[in-house]
Structure 1
Amino acid sequence: MHSTQLGGGRVKRETRLADGRDLIYFDDPDTTLGDDRSVDARDLDPRPETATMRQDVLTGDWISVAAARQNRAFLPPAELDPLAPQTPANPSEIPSVYDVAVFENRSPSFGPALAEAIGDVPAAADPPRGLDDLARLGLGRTRTSVGRCEVVCFSPDRAGSFGTQTVTRARTVIEAWADRTAALSALPGVQQVFPFENRGEAIGVTLHHPHGQIYAYPYVTPRTQRLLDSIDRTAPDLFARILAFEQEGPRVVLRGEHFTAFVPFAARWPLELHVLPHRHVADFAGLTDAERDELAPFYLRLLRGVDALYDTPTPYIAAWHQAPVHVGRDSVRLNLQLTSPRRAADKLKFLAGSEAAMGAWIGDVPPEVAAEKLRTAVEGVTL
């Protein structure tokens, strides 16, 4: 097992699972774990073939058809949690007790093979040939879904979310996000890296274990392509302008030395919260130690404030948008967009005809009202 010293006294330990997938442990600075970790001795089926992308000629979007995902775990009982440390009764994905663990998804939407053979996994049969190739339109166009999907386990505990972690643990996860962003960005064929957390069954979560994911895409995502177009049509410093505009308005929820959280002027969702760093930084890997240190308690306060709005935990998607690997590095700023369909204690917003079919959104809650509620909730949070 190879180990590397990271920021703030954290240690990264790299190993492999029984079928050759990467497994990386990230240890807290005050960890009680030793240097040795158990070996994954399971007898696993071969890894699935890499999925195939199909182009929607009406939009230019690429759709990855990953049939192996149909067989992924779906709300298993707690004693069979696949993200908990292995026991004799539970042959899970992680052989040892851990603080934070990251591993390649067993049923990935992208990967596992890139442009070359990896172990027993064959080379991608028909990988993309760059961004110009992906931008061309045509009927029946396909490409191999090169890339990578990783699972980020925030804790060995069976229940919780990012918001239930300690400040120390949250900081370790941020270090893991930064490390994996740099590593995945360096892989051949990867165009964008996306860390995110899905929380709650209303969002479609299939595992209750506190965890998130990281997708490494072989293309620049449609949302980011629209963003790049907006930057081209306005100004390269668009994010700086947005930050200044929101900091002067009534929708700021929390402001620190390095980050500001706000409800955006044109929020789509009844609960929508954005976070921007005060300086331009393209991704997690570019954050300084001081910024990472502030972000851990800052983000926890926001998430606990979201949960304080109601008597039960709030479902959400926490999407950390990062600049593409090869374009827009000087203009696209790292930013969080947290969204929830919860519009009341017992009501959810469902995407019906206008939103789902036409992309024409109708807001249910004025952003200023949502900001005031969130601001009050966050002010009551103690860490």
Structure 2
Amino acid sequence: MQTRKSGRARDYYRRDHAKPDGRQLYLYGYSPHEGEAGPEFDDPVSSRSEMRFHPLRQDWSIFSPHRQNRTFKPSKAANPLAPATPGGAITEIPFTAFELAVFGNRFPSLHPHAPVPPQSPWQSRPATGDAEVIVFSSEDDGSLATLGQDRRVLLIEALIDRYQHHFDAGAAYVLPFENRGEAVGVTLHHPHGQIYVFPVIPEPQARAERAFAQGYDLEADRQSWGEDFAIAQSGGIHAYCPPFTRFPYEVWLSAESRAPGPWALSREEVEGLAEMMGEVVARYDRLFDQPMPYMMSFQAAPRETCGQFQFTVQFYPLMRSAGRLKYLAGVEQATGVFTVDVDPATAAHALRDAT
């Protein structure tokens, strides 16, 4: 099935394709997608994950032993995120061309039909939800900085579409994210991200929701910090290093308007967000003259929200200086109290100069 969609910034097309193993593939593009599917994976996909509650931390963990067998650093010829080639290896996208693709993870940590765990002495629940992969491009290299503005806007439109789909299906929280670089643990280097769909609101996001409900105003705070922490801005979207960052060179993006998620941004703001996502990654790569490993996430409101939530995109880079990675030390792992080696105002100054 193929439908034309009206996005926040631009119209696009979405083609829905059912995989033989029961998963769904969604192809997003500015033009209708053409072509017949080639060979596909048809092995059963495991749904046997469960969530267990930590009584001291008061949060949940996901247990998914089947993920031990997930794809690990495949050769270029066996890249599962590449478009299909006649006579080549089977890939997740069984078409010879595409613009942007989203599909259910073949090794999911969360699954719509996760079974009820067996009776146990600990508190557990089914790991219902979803885990999707979002492939930014058919090209096997590149980054948010090099994709181009059109593709970054399409990426945001696709994420908004996935938010709407999963919230309509009853998800409590949706987290799109990207891991970049082997230092973060990336095992597939094709430009891509993931979307985790949770049946509960994770504790950090629940705390953020409570803070906004109690009156915290991020935009007013950002304005009060002044220009020392600012990096760049476009279309009402600002890039900055908050004074309370936990990672060296951590950057946040947020809108001047009170938007709970990307679905509430204006056309101008979507364009600005796309531009700033590329700009931040480009500045990261220029900072130490090498690709910066980082974790990036969309921090939007839960499905049930107070209405005061303020959406951010947050980048956590893993380098503190040229050739030196930021490792999480024992005190940080044990307490959650981070030690930050670079003052955020200094980090913002360095990123402003990385042009």
What TM-score comes out, normalization by structure 1 length?
0.87
The reply on whether 1:242 has 2:241 as its aligned counterpart is no
Instruction: After superposition, give the CA deviation of every residue in 1:183-203 in whole Å (9 maximum; x if it has no partner).
Output: 111113x11111111000000
For 1:251 and 1:343, locate their aligned partners in 2 and report how far apart those are by CA, in whole Å: 17
Q: Return the alpha-carbon distance in structure 1 between the equivalents of residues 244 and 168 of structure 2.
A: 35
Matched, 1:317 2:295: yes
Please point out which of 146, 150, 166 is paired with 1:184: 166
Q: Write the deviation string for residues 145-201 of structure 1: whole angstroms up to 9, x where unpaired.
A: 01011111000011122222011111111110111111111113x111111110000
Q: Secondary structure at the match of 1:164?
A: coil
Asked whether the 8 Å contact 2:15–2:28 carries over to 1, the reply is yes
Q: Deviation at 1:38? A: 2.3
- Within the alignment, does 1:93 sit opposite 2:92 as a pair? yes
Partner of 2:352 in structure 1? 375
Q: Aligned letter for 1:250?
A: D
Q: Decide which of 271, 276, 286 is 1:308's aligned counterpart.
A: 286
Counterpart in the other structure of 2:27: 25
SS at match of 2:348: helix
The corresponding residue for 1:206 is 187
Query: Partners of 2:298 and 2:223 in 1: how far apart?
Result: 20
Residue pairs, 1:204-353, within 5 angstroms: 204-231=185-212, 235-246=214-225, 248-328=226-306, 330-353=307-330
1:153 aligns with 135
Shift in Å, 1:359 = 1.3
Distance, in Å, in 1 between the alignment partners of 2:256 and 2:121 is: 44
- The aligned counterpart of 1:4 is 4
Aligned length: 350
Show CA shifts across 1:41-86 (max 9, x none).
4352112124111111112211110112111111111111000012
> CA–CA distance in 1 between the matches of 2:297 and 2:56?
26
Post-superposition offset of 1:40: 4.9
Q: Is residue 236–residue 256 contact of structure 2 (8 Å, CA) maintained in 1?
A: yes
The alignment-based identity, stated in percent, is 32
Higher mean C-alpha displacement, 199-208 vs 51-60? 51-60
Deviation track 1:324-380 (CA, whole Å, cap 9, x = no partner) reads: 11133x122110110112011110111111111111211101111111000111xx2
Scaled by the length of structure 2, what TM-score is found? 0.93
The residue type paired with residue 376 of structure 1 is: D
| Residue of structure 2 equivalent to 1:15 | 17
Quote the Cα distance in structure 2 between the aligned partners of 1:299 and 1:12. 23
Give the deviation of 1:126 after TM superposition: 6.3
Measured against aligned partners, the alpha-carbon deviations of 1:255-279 in whole angstroms (never above 9, x if no partner) come to 2331111101111111200111111
Partner AA of 1:13 in structure 2? R
Q: 1:43 to 1:332 in 2, by over 3 A?
A: closer
- 8 A contact 1:254–1:260 mirrored in 2: yes
| 1:356 has 2:333 as partner | yes
In 2, Cα distance between equivalents of 1:193 and 1:314: 25
In the alignment, the residues of structure 1 paired with residue 50 and residue 155 of structure 2 have an alpha-carbon distance, to the nearest angstrom, of 31
SS of aligned partner of 2:3: strand
- In structure 2, do the counterparts of structure 1 residues 60 and 139 end up closer, same or farther at CA, with 3 Å as the change threshold? farther
- Runs (5+) with no aligned partner, structure 1: 115-123, 128-137
How far is the alpha carbon of 1:240 from its aligned partner?
A: 2.9
Q: In structure 2, the residue corresponding to 1:162 is in which secondary structure? A: coil
Query: 1:139: how far off?
Result: 5.6
Deviates more, 1:339-348 or 1:47-56: 47-56
Deviation at 1:241, TM superposition (A): 2.5
CA distance in 1, matches of 2:329, 2:221: 29
Partner of 2:144: 162
Equivalent-residue separation in structure 2 for 1:305 and 1:67 (angstroms)? 38
Taking structure 1 as reference, are residues 104 and 257 closer, same or farther at Cα in structure 2, changes over 3 Å only?
Answer: same
One-letter code aligned to 1:282: P
Q: What SS does the corresponding residue of 1:15 show, helix, strand or coil? A: strand
Please name the residue that 2:65 is paired with: 67
CA RMSD of aligned residues (A): 1.9
User: Please, which runs of 5 or more residues in structure 2 have no aligned partner?
Assistant: none
CA contact 1:50–1:112 (8 Å) conserved in 2 = no
Amino acid at match of 2:84: Q
